[in-house]
Amino acid sequence: MDCKEAIAIFENNTKKSVVQIERCSIGIANYVFAVSTAAEKFILRCSKERDAYEATADWLNKLSVCEIPVPVVLSKGTDGDHSFLILSYIPGDDIGTVYNELNDDEKKQIAKEVVAIQRRVSRMDIATDRDWTWNDFIDELLDRAHARIKRNRHFDTDKIHTLKKLQQEIKEYLDAVRPTPYLDDISTKNLLIYGGKVSGIIDVDWIGLGDMLTFAALTRVALLNMDLDTKYVDDLLDEIHPNAIEYKAFVFYCLLYCVDFMGERGMQFLDKEVPVNEGIVKRLNDIFDILMREWNRCCEW
């Protein structure tokens, strides 16, 4: 989808003239544009899936009621072959983009704000399937990573077998995880920072149910993959206060997302390909080895 098509969708459905439009780098499953008119700025999301944004709009409205800093849904519908969603614009950049500009005090304050947001989300009343289990979620993620790694052939599928064994070692803990709501996709992306503070949360297409520690684990793996320090994740854990078995689960989740990252290398999403080369393969293999050593230290406690 090009900017010309996006302009037509925006102008057709707002009756406002576009002064400037820019394709955003975020969004591998959607086309996302920052759109400026003479007086305001908006976000336009487009998808070729029918009714793609019904759930997104519903979640954003529910989160707004909980005083979570999310965009306001201004319009949604269908235009030609595309579903569209027009949102208010929130100033800021993904935390991964500005991470090196943040000082330790700012990282600590952001972690405090984010955990407070997660705790507000956890109080939402969300219906779940009667047969829901957290281990089913783990199985799905591992099976997806296994299929992708096997198909793309950049990594060793033995890593998946290793994680399935570790899963059994903490099965009692995983079996006890309840379907608690949380924002599972705020890591180095989707968390906007402006002036060293949280300004908003974007790209909310679903709500996670289960163990909130996974968002901290995803963040840690993302930071390691970007070759950045993990001070912010340490601050998140300081706010969450995991006990020994919870920390062990956290390390397992880090390994889980590491193989998930491996599975994505070389994949095509819309018109974007997830990059892969020898350096990326080595870095993710090194991260996996670091995390396995940490897991083994946890077993010695």
Residue 215, token pair as written in the block = 């968002």
Q: pLDDT (tens digit, 0 to 9) for every residue of the chain, 301 residues total?
A: 788 999 999 999 999 999 999 988 765 667 899 999 999 999 999 988 888 899 899 999 999 988 899 999 999 999 888 999 999 999 999 999 999 999 999 999 999 999 999 999 999 988 888 889 999 999 999 999 999 999 988 999 999 999 999 999 999 999 999 999 999 999 999 999 999 999 999 988 889 999 999 999 999 999 999 999 999 999 999 999 999 999 999 999 999 999 999 998 877 776 667 878 899 999 999 999 999 999 999 876 6
Read off φ and ψ for residue 2, nearest 5 degrees: -105, 175
Read off φ and ψ for residue 20, nearest 5 degrees: -150, 145
Q: Which residue, among 38, 37, 46, has the nearest Cα to 6 in the 3D structure?
A: 46
- CA dist list (Å): 117 to 68, 70, 198, 262, 268: 7, 11, 10, 29, 33
User: H-helix or E-strand containing 205?
Assistant: none
Collapsed DSSP state (helix, strand, coil) of residue 82: strand
Angular region, 79: left φ>0, alpha ψ -120 to 50, beta rest: beta
- Strand ordering across the sheet containing 191-194: 93-94, 191-194, 197-201
The 8-class DSSP code of residue 248 comes to H
